[in-house]
């Protein structure tokens, strides 16, 4: 015996929805919400509640530089370019590290250089930050 409904409408899935009508997957919707939250500095800052290196580099500096805390060791990630960094030391500038590793990141390209970043070390060439 065949199901006439699915036989007559070949583009339908077993659930009765066509791909254009199918509700978004709940995990996809959740991922999109999380991504939107992490694109805001306040949302990124909230991820640092268990940050282990507060005396080395501040959560505020990391969040201002576009990073959120991954929750493991000292790993941080950028929700714009997916750059992941760890191994932070006292001499690190989060914004500088982000710009050096991923100058084409949309966050870096669209964010003015912070005043504390040494301007003589960073150059913006064709909209991309680079180090000489």
Give the pLDDT confidence score for residue 19 in this predicted structure.
44
> In this predicted structure, which of 4-8, 9-13, 42-46, 49-53 has the lowest mean pLDDT?
4-8
Q: Which domain holds residue 85?
A: 25-130
Q: What is the domain count for the chain?
A: 1
Residue 75, domain CATH: 1.10.1170.10
Is 14 within the bounds of a domain? no
Give the pLDDT confidence score for residue 131 in this predicted structure.
41
- Give tens-digit pLDDT for 70-85: 999 999 999 999 999 9
What's the mean per-residue pLDDT of the chain?
75
- Give tens-digit pLDDT for 83-94: 999 999 988 889
Is 39 within the bounds of a domain? yes
Is 6 within the bounds of a domain? no
Residue 26 has pLDDT above 90, yes or no: no
Is 97 within the bounds of a domain? yes
Is 79 within the bounds of a domain? yes
Q: Please state the three-class secondary structure of the chain as a single string.
A: CCCHHHHHCCCECCCCCECCCCCCCHHHHHHHHHHHHHCCHHHHHHHHCCCCCCCCCCHHHHHHCCCEECCCCCCEECCCCCCEECCCCCCCCHHHHHHHHCCCCHHHHHCCCCCCCCCCCCEEECCEEECC
Is 3 within the bounds of a domain? no
Is 2 within the bounds of a domain? no
Q: How confident is the model at residue 118 (pLDDT cuts 50, 70, 90)?
A: low
Is 15 within the bounds of a domain? no
């Amino acid at each position: 015996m065949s199901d006439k409904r699915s036989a007559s409408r070949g583009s339908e899935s077993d659930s009765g929805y066509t791909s254009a009508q199918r509700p978004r997957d709940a995990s996809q919707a959740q991922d999109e919400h999380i991504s939107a939250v992490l694109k805001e500095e306040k949302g990124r800052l909230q991820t640092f509640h268990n940050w282990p290196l507060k005396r080395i580099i501040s959560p505020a500096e990391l969040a201002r530089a576009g990073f959120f805390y991954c929750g493991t060791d000292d790993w941080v990630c950028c929700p714009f370019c997916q750059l992941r960094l760890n191994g932070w030391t006292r001499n690190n500038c989060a914004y500088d590290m982000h710009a050096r590793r991923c100058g084409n990141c949309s966050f870096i390209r669209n964010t003015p250089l912070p005043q504390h970043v040494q301007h003589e070390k960073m150059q913006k060439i064709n909209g991309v930050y680079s180090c000489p």
